[in-house]
Structure 1
Amino acid sequence: MKNTFPLRRALALLAAALLTACAGPARQASSPDAGTLLPNENLVLQGIPPIPMSLVRQVEKYTDFRGHGFADWHPTRNEMLVAHRKAGANTEQLFRINGPMAAPEQLTDFTDPVNEASYEPQGGRYVVFSRSSGGNEAHQLYRLDLDTRAVTLLTHPDERHQMLGWLHGRSELIYSAVPLDRTAEGGTRSAPATTLWLIDPMKPEDRRKLAELPGTGWFGGAVSWDDRQLALIDYRSASESRIWQVALADGKARQLLPAPGESVRAAHYTVGWRRDGSGLFVLSDRAGEFRELMLHDLASGALQRITAHIPWDVASADLSDDGRLLALRVNADGREELRLIDAQTLREQAVPALARLPKGSINTARFHRNSGQLALAIDSAQGPNQLHSLDLASATVATWTEPQAPPGVDTKGFADQRIVRWKSFDGLAMSAVYTPTPSRFAGKRPVVVLVHGGPEAQATLGFMGRWNYLVNELGIAIVQPNVRGSAGYGKTFLTLDNGMKREDAVKDLGTLLDWIAAQPELDAARVLVTGGSYGGYMSLAASVHFAERIAGAIDIVGISDFVSFLANTESYRRDLRRAEYGDEREPEMRAFFERISPLRNADKIKQPLFVVQGKNDPRVPWTEAEQIVARVRQTGVPVWYLRAENEGHGFARKENADFQFYATIRFLEQTLLK
């Protein structure tokens, strides 16, 4: 995701693959005879050699870092709803914490993860949460009664759902529903639509249809304080989204931004309404390269810029319930910072007690409905998400959770990451997050290039979980590039890989290899490229274009052929992906896809390949993995394949993710560390 793999070693690996391939059910446990770890019954293996228990014992302490994700504040009490994976558990579940450093109380216990939830807003009598099955992303909404722990399904299983917002005056919830087509199994829908529903979760049978809207990119609802209007985002692509206003009484919808008749093509996102309903706070990059906080006046249609002085994207904004303050997360070169805006004067103000917050990236900033406290989730290279509250009135900070690491691992000693920069083939400035190895490792160090997905995502500073084993125990440096098309560096940069510019981003990887070769501490002869989703495509593309410069690649849920990908991705995602990659129905675009797709260039792949896939993936269907595995094997190149029958777009269950990581270490032994 490199050096020519010796033929003798390739043949040995191929023979081992035939002996150890496993497509049948088996439990993930040790084999007492062989001293190896057996896969659990949901894992399908091909070409992967045995996992010695000695390796598992060395690595497993790096597989159990556990942080806490903020879900919601209780509406009346000083209490948090959080997502957490407890010791020994396989998935994240919901917990409530009734005060700083109080013992978490578990609320859910499912085989599938639960990490999105909201308290009933009047008294916190129950929780509504979202959950899908086996990674299929067909999210259903459920009511959890806190007194009895009874769980009630609120939605239809043949649709995927998203919570959009609660009414303010009563406990009724607006949510969206999109039909599922399961295109990988042959279903399709030429013009899918989104339906908006209003529901009292205590009386789900009485739900009321609010509106039906064309397309499937509707999300991010903000309900006006008089409960009459819903501001909604119509997401077309990473560089274009619109804001609509839906009347809750009759479902009539009108476009707010860009205003009808405007030719502006830009991103627009809702934040929240002014208390008197006169204006709507929004985020938009329409005035420049970066996403700014703005105020849209409903009467005049005027837009007032508020954060033009901040030369970075405002990643999110949360408006306090009293309408007085806005808490912003600003993405400053891959690290998210907290800023405060006075919602009346529209001026930035100092953050109280800022120096008392731990260093790191602020991944969440949410106001309590009544107390005005800010919940903050912060992580860094030294630990996963830790929750804090910031009391703005008293300028005090309270710690709510501590990140948990296994015995024998001191995360405080993990090295800080840094941003490195270089120039690409056309002079364009590039950057990456670089994690160096500890100084005790002598000589030139091997490198893993870890490419983010999206492609409209970003490699950011923060905790690296299992990957820390590579750095701290194996002496492998990690470089996470932000090639063109990445978010965070302006809207122009974001679009530089669109359509027929796709391989310019691959060329950026080539210039990163040049940068690696110029670093005295790094070994350009031992570089492996890996990534998930779009990053999986990039690892395959690197295998095609830089076969003599890399040692191998790991493709995780990646695109192997753009034509088949666009044909088989779920219908509700297809138009969104065409906006980024191009429309395969156009002859010129289709010919371009056929020319660049890794599947059609598989004969150029010369180094070992490891492919990882979830069978229930609605985004990049499992067929993308199967076809590249079969095609590359025809050329005689060693291919390892791992598929999980109960996963989707990446492995969410710890037992599956652990096995994937152990196999990854074995692959590195055969490529980078031989």
Structure 2
Amino acid sequence: MLKKVLLAAAALTPLAPALADAPKPAALVADGIPPVPDDIPASMRAYGESRSAVAQGWNAKTGALIVSTRFGNTAQLHTVSGPLMSRRQITFEAEPVQGLPSPTGDTLLVQKDVGGNEFFQLYRFDQGRLQLLTDGKSRNEFGAWSQDGKLVGYSSTRRNGTDSDLYVMNPLDPKTDRMVAQVKGGGWAINGFSPDNRTALVQQYVSVQKSNLWLLDVRTGKMTALGDHGQSIAYGNATYAPDGTIWATSDEGSDFQRLGTLDPRSGRFTPKSPEPKWDVDSFEIARDGSYVAYVVNEKGSSKLRLLDPKTGAVRQARNLPLGVIGGLHAAPDGRLAFTMTSARFPADSFTLGPVSLEATRWTESETGGLDPKLNPEAELVEVKSFDGETVSGFLYRPNPKKFPGKRPLIFDIHGGPEGQYTPGYRGAGNYLTNELGVAVFAPNVRGSTGFGKRFVSLDNGPNKREDSVKDIGAFLDTLQKDPRIDRSRMAVTGGSYGGYMCYASAIRYGDRFKAADCIVAISNFVTFLENTQSYRRDLRRVEYGDERDPAQRAKLTEISPLTSVNRLKIPLLVVTGANDPRVPESEANQIVAAVRSNGGTAWHLVGKNEGHGFRKKENRDYESWVETMFWKKYLLAE
């Protein structure tokens, strides 16, 4: 009877009319952007529902793995008790969080900011609640746990808002919090503690080509230089092993980052990894010191290997698919947790047995009901640039059976510039290739990491900056000759430094690109350097140039997209985070105003609760809907 009543009521209730426009999140400002028709989010919905499960570390007491997964609007912490077991959510914050479990399992620290402002605070997770450990105002960044879990080292700008001084505390007793070293600059971090907790290993980042290591006396605050700071040496990471040996990745004596040990007295680096080429991206030392796991980056693909520190023997992980690996975490029982992703699966957590070298998948993240095996694998493309330099990138082609003939292409340029595009899972980006038939090319122009110290320095300073833009021209020359690419329908996108490249490419190659989507992008190097947060300003001057020097200021102004904005003739989409501490909102506002004053088209999407890129799901979804609408109108002419 009840079923009949419900059916009758449903029959009498008129169906709700379909929405004409998709709802916009309240925190987004869509300036000059048409309403998004409801058919776009309807067709894209499954592509926006993919998830990931990034390993954060182990609960040393229970043996559970702590992962970061988003089931709501933001990524939160979950525990996983065993392979492919359920993810149990333990944090429920409005903002994304990072988990930092202690080596002993006594404490779980959480690092969190507000609205993407990157003024991180440290908290102790206690019975479902976060207890604030830092001042709630300054920028604080986690550095390292001591091996006994009694101390945590971190950096903070609380003294003057600019310099990243070094602090230690016992998080179980916040009253022990104290500054141990007052420093100058924003690139400082505590990387590890000696087994007796008397000495901390400190890394001072100067540039992608140079970083300095120091030994810090935790009791007195005295810092002693480790190695020759007069040399241009970059350390990827450095830390203590359980026996007190200092391990590091370094490019000393090589064009690439190698894994090795450092003599604490002389600072001499002794390489231990046998690979003559390619960077060692990261490493992790077993709790008992029995192995050092490390990841080698071979043209964007990862190889996971275990080194025996006693014999020097190296073994490679078995049955791992081709993909990208990061986030190594050794468990007390010897298991190694790591995160891996590829074109065919999102970032998921795995473990490796140190004896069997067999990998076990611990999470299998959702892909919105879509079959990830249908996603195209990346093709490596290598070309000779204007000066004979070899540059490369990864090309994703649509299925030729579903989309025959010549296909439109979007260049997607990574940020950094000290970064590298590696072929991981593309999430909502797969919609372009799988449903719209758009090819995507992700270049690694000069200045990208992963190709050696010489290559990463090729774009340094204002006089070399535009050489990377010329690399885009070399890729265009090659890809426009591809018989499966439609040379008349090409566009460009990029974020952060890639956003500068997006503007610059849209200006230089406006006759070959039809539209540009530039995200959290630098439009004027001088105003960017003057307005980026003070704790990072000197670090950026090393890369881009010093706007205080008249000659460099003139060149920075000359190469800035805003200076040549009158040459920007193609439609522009600009995406901005209002709380961005790196590339402030003013960088977007000034180029949008300039384009419009010249009679050009500029859509502007602003996230009032976002920083350097959108992190909240509802905002990211709307951003992808707007981008799709933009590409349909200006690239595909639909």
TM-score (norm 2): 0.94
Aligned to 2:7: none
Which of 419, 423, 435 aligns to 2:384? It is 423
| Equivalent residue in structure 2 for 1:613, among 558, 576, 593 | 576
Name the amino acid aligned to 2:361: T
Determine if the alignment matches structure 1 residue 136 to structure 2 residue 117: yes
Alpha-carbon separation, structure 2, partners of 1:56 and 1:117: 32
In the alignment, structure 1 residue 62 sits paired with structure 2 residue 47: yes
> Residues 165 and 183 of structure 2 are in contact (CA less than 8 Å); yes or no, is this contact kept in structure 1?
yes
- The 2-side partners of 1:94 and 1:170 are apart by 20
Greater displacement, 450-459 / 436-445: 436-445
Q: How many residues get paired?
A: 620
Question: What is aligned with 1:96?
Answer: 79
Matched position secondary structure for 1:37:
coil
Task: Give the superposition deviation at 1:195.
Answer: 2.1
Matches within 5 A, 1:552-567: 552-567=515-530
Question: 1:337–1:561: structure 2 CA closer, same or farther, 3 Å change rule?
Answer: same
Q: 2:314 aligns with which of 344, 349, 355?
A: 349
State whether structure 2 residue 440 is matched by structure 1 residue 478.
yes
- Post-superposition Cα deviations, 1:81-117, rounded to whole Å, max 9, x if no partner, equal 110001xx11100111122222111111111111x21
Q: Which residue of 1 aligns with 2:495?
A: 532
Counterpart in the other structure of 1:310: 276
Q: Secondary structure at the match of 2:182?
A: strand
The 1:270–1:456 alpha-carbon spacing in structure 2 relative to 1, beyond 3 Å, is closer
Tell me, in whole angstroms, the C-alpha distance in 2 between the residues paired with 1:248 and 1:128: 21
TM-aligned CA deviation for residue 523 of structure 1: 1.2
* Letter paired with 2:69: H
- 1:592 and 2:558 correspond: no
Which of 199, 211, 215 aligns to 2:185? It is 215
2:379 equivalent to 1:379? no
- For residue 70 of structure 1, report the CA deviation from its aligned partner: 0.6
Is residue 438 of structure 1 aligned with residue 408 of structure 2? no
Task: Kindly indicate whether the alpha-carbon contact (under 8 Å) linking 1:166 and 1:173 is maintained by their aligned counterparts in 2.
Answer: yes
Task: Give the match for residue 12 of structure 1.
Answer: none
How do 1:4-23 and structure 2 match up within 5 A?
A: none
Is the Cα–Cα contact under 8 Å of residues 301 and 322 in structure 2 kept in the other structure? Answer: no
Aligned to 1:631: 594
**CA distance in structure 2 between the partners assigned to 1:348 and 1:630 by the alignment:** 60
Q: Is the 8 A contact 2:318 2:359 kept in 1?
A: no
Please tell me the residue identity of whatever aligns with 1:232: V
The residue type paired with residue 140 of structure 1 is Q
SS at match of 1:506: helix
Deviations 1:207-246 (A, max 9, x none): 2221112211012511111111111110001111111110
User: 177, 197, 200: which one pairs with 2:167?
Assistant: 197
**Deviation readout 1:575-633 (Å, 9 max, x if unpaired):** 11000000001111111111111111110000000000000000000000000000010
Is 2:473–2:509's contact at 8 Å kept on the other side of the alignment? Answer: yes
The answer to whether structure 1 residue 241 and structure 2 residue 211 are counterparts is: yes
Aligned to 2:61: 76
Q: Which has the higher contact order (CA 8 A, sep 6+)?
A: 1
1:121 to 88, 103, 115: 103
Q: Describe the shift of the 1:313–1:395 C-alpha distance in structure 2 as closer, same or farther (beyond 3 A).
A: closer
Question: 1:77, CA displacement in angstroms?
Answer: 3.1
Pick from 196, 206, 210 the counterpart of residue 176 of structure 2: 206
- Structure 2 residue 497 is matched with structure 1 residue 516: no
Question: How far has the Cα of 1:137 moved from its partner?
Answer: 0.3
1:271 matched to which residue of 2? Answer: 238
Q: Gaps (5+ residues) in structure 2?
A: 1-15
Match of 1:292 in 2: 258
Q: Would you say the 8 A contact 1:328–1:338 is kept in 2?
A: yes
SS at match of 2:464: helix
Q: Structure 1: which amino acid aligns with 2:315?
A: A
Tell me, what secondary structure is at the counterpart of 2:517? strand
State the shift of 1:33 in Å. 7.5
Residue 252 of structure 1: which of 205, 222, 226 is its match?
A: 222
Which residue number in structure 1 is paired with residue 8 of structure 2? none
What is the match of residue 202 of structure 2? 232
Residue 308 of structure 1: how far off its partner (Å): 5.0
Q: Separation in 1 of the partners of 2:87 and 2:525?
A: 45
Deviations 1:33-70 (A, max 9, x none): 86111211111111211211111110111111101001
Select the residue among 44, 53, 74 that pairs with 2:38: 53
1:243–1:269 CA contact under 8 A, matched in 2: no
Shift in Å, 1:180: 9.0
CA distance in 2 between partners of 1:310 and 1:348 (Å): 16
| Residues in 2 aligned to 1:506 and 1:546: alpha-carbon distance in whole angstroms | 10
**Partner SS state of residue 403, structure 1:** coil
Corresponding position of 1:281: 247
Q: Residues 102 and 149 of structure 2 are in contact (CA less than 8 Å); yes or no, is this contact kept in structure 1?
A: no
Deviations 1:306-349 (A, max 9, x none): 2253310000111112112111111110112101111123x242
> 1:379: how far off?
0.9
1:106 to 74, 89, 92: 89
- Following superposition, the deviation at residue 166 of structure 1 comes to 1.9
The answer as to 2:631 corresponding to 1:661 is no
TM-score normalised according to structure 1 size? 0.90
Retained in 1: the 8 A contact 2:166–2:188? no
**Pair 1:156 & 2:135 matched:** yes
Secondary structure of the equivalent of 2:511?
A: coil
Letter in 2 for 1:524: R
Once superposed, which parts of structure 1, at least 4 consecutive aligned residues long, lie more than 6 Å away? none
Counterpart secondary structure, 1:271: strand
Distance 1:34 1:304, change over 3 A: closer
- Matched residues in 2 for 1:596 and 1:66: separation? 39
The aligned residue for residue 294 of structure 2 is 328
CA displacement at 1:121 relative to structure 2: 3.0
- Whole-Å separation in 1 of the counterparts to 2:561 and 2:473: 16
In 1: Cα distance, 2:237 partner to 2:76 partner? 28
Aligned to 1:644: 607
Secondary structure at the aligned position of 2:196 is classed as coil
The answer to whether the 8 Å contact 2:520/2:588 transfers is yes
Give the Cα separation in 1 of the matches to 2:456 and 2:388.
16
CA 1:159–1:541 in structure 2 vs 1: closer, same or farther (change >3 Å)? same
- Partners in 2 of 1:395 and 1:296 — Cα distance? 27
Query: Cα–Cα, structure 1 residues 43 and 417, in superposed 2: closer, same or farther, change >3 Å?
Result: same
Q: CA deviation at 1:461?
A: 1.4
Opposite residue 268 of structure 1, the aligned amino acid is Y
Aligned partner of 1:19 in structure 2 is none
Measure, in 1, the Cα distance between the counterparts of 2:493 and 2:120.
29
**Alignment partners' CA distance in 1, 2:579 and 2:119:** 10
Is contact 2:154-2:190 (8 Å) kept? no
Aligned mates of 1:390, 1:210 — CA distance in 2: 37
**2: CA distance between counterparts of 1:52 and 1:180?**
50
Per-residue CA distance 1:404-423 (angstroms, 9 max, x = gap): 1112x111121111211111
Contact 2:67 2:349 in 1 (8 A): no
| 1:527 match: secondary structure | strand
**Residues 1:581 and 2:566 aligned together:** no
- CA RMSD, 1 decimal: 1.6
Is 1:359 the equivalent of 2:327? no
**1:365–1:162 distance in 2 versus 1, CA, 3 Å:** same
- Conserved? CA contact 1:180–1:570, under 8 Å: no
**Structure 2 counterpart of 1:244, which letter?**
W
State the 1:559 CA deviation: 0.1
8 Å CA contact 2:226–2:266 kept in 1: the answer is no
Structure 2: distance between partners of 1:510 and 1:460: 21
Q: Which string of whole-angstrom CA distances, capped at 9 and with x for unpartnered residues, describes residues 246-267 of structure 1?
A: 011111001103x25xx42120
